[in-house]
């Protein structure tokens, strides 16, 4: 597929795709200020707040990336009955994300609050309950997934941040019903228990996550990453591995071949959120029947836009098209 064909997909066909995101939904809050003195109450800096910002985080950031690229985006996860949920839903609504799949539980809406003095993070406060989703909440979540699949979905993302939604039962059930319907499942993993991802079509670990699941160091070179990915593929019966490798780009290891795609970023300021962008663009491209190597290339290109920004960032259709215009690199199988 040529770059022109990829441009045509992003510009015209992405809007016809339907992608479901299931996972740990979060709200990211930021307080920006300046520090000029130490508190008389305790030996801590006093931050004078100058502005604040709230953004979509976790699985909600994955959905945000999809929505900005113009596809039909559906989000499923758990929230609490609190102010953070209201703020989260307002932002989801503003971006056109369907959030009927958010299940309200007694716990809080997962929220990360960061206080920054200048460009230095002073403290982070986490509002969360990481107990595994179970009982009627699990049933409601899976019922929504099944309903969406019946009504038509082109790909499913499982965005696991280890906050309680992506339990073995939930992951295994989703992988099974999607396999029966021929819908690709793409997973952003967390932790060392990858048995729950067994049978998935794609999994997108970074190098640190490969290290954790193999319990050994994996060098950031093509041969070592390919060998590690093949071991993981066999052990957990995962069809394809898309390993993100920071400044070295990413690698797609499938049954057909290993494709190594160098990073296209000119400058790297912040890698936070890049994994969300990779999985969103990869799943969107697969939903549009793009070949896996080209889908991985497009995901890597989108990530190159995100790492040049500070903080959690979702790439827009216009930015991705501009990046496609700038590069003449292609990936061939």
Question: Would you please indicate which residues are annotated as catalytic (active-site) residues?
Answer: 276
Angle at 318 between CA 313 and CA 322, to 5 degrees: 100
- Scanning the structure block, which residue is given the tokens 């400058």? 267
CA 85 to CA 75: how far, in whole Å? 14
Could you tell me the two tokens for 138?
């699990």
Stretch (H or E) spanning 48: strand 45-58
φ and ψ of 127, to 5 deg: -105, 110
Strand partners, 274: none
CA 201 to CA 135: how far, in whole Å? 27
Cβ pair 100, 140 in contact under 8 A: no
φ and ψ of 238, to 5 deg: -100, 135
- Scanning the structure block, which residue is given the tokens 């549009």? 288
SS (H, E, C) 310-328: CCCCCCCHHHHHHHHHHCC
Cβ pair 110, 53 in contact under 8 A: no
CA 230 to CA 147: how far, in whole Å? 34
């Amino acid at each position: 597929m040529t770059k022109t064909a990829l441009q045509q997909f992003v510009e015209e066909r992405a809007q016809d795709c339907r992608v479901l995101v299931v996972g740990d939904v979060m709200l990211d809050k930021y307080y920006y200020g300046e520090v000029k003195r130490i508190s008389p109450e305790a030996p801590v800096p006093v931050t004078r707040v100058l502005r604040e910002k709230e953004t979509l985080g976790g699985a909600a950031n994955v959905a945000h990336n999809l929505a900005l690229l113009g596809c039909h985006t559906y989000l499923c996860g758990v929230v609490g009955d609190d102010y953070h949920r209201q703020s989260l839903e307002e932002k989801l609504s503003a971006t056109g994300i369907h959030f009927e799949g958010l299940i309200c539980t007694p716990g809080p809406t997962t929220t990360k609050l960061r206080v920054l003095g200048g460009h230095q993070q002073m403290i982070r406060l986490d509002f969360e309950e990481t107990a595994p989703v179970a009982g009627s909440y699990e049933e409601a979540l899976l019922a929504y997934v099944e309903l969406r699949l019946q009504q038509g979905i082109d790909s499913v993302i499982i965005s696991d941040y280890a906050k309680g939604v992506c339990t073995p039962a939930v992951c295994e059930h989703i992988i099974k019903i999607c396999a029966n319907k021929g819908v690709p499942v793409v997973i952003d993993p967390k932790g060392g228990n990858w048995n729950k991802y067994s049978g998935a079509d794609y999994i997108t670990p970074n190098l640190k996550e490969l290290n954790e699941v193999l319990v050994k160091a994996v060098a950031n070179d093509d041969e070592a990453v390919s060998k590690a990915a093949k071991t993981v593929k066999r052990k957990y019966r995962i069809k394809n591995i898309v390993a993100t490798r920071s400044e070295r780009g990413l690698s797609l290891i499938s049954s057909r071949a290993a494709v190594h795609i160098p990073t296209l970023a000119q400058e790297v300021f912040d890698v936070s959120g890049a994994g969300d962008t990779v999985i969103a663009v990869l799943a969107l491209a697969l939903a549009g029947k793009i070949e896996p190597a080209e889908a991985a290339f497009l995901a890597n290109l989108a990530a190159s836009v995100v790492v040049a920004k500070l903080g959690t960032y979702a790439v827009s259709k216009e930015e991705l098209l501009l990046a496609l215009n700038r590069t003449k690199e292609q990936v061939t199988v």
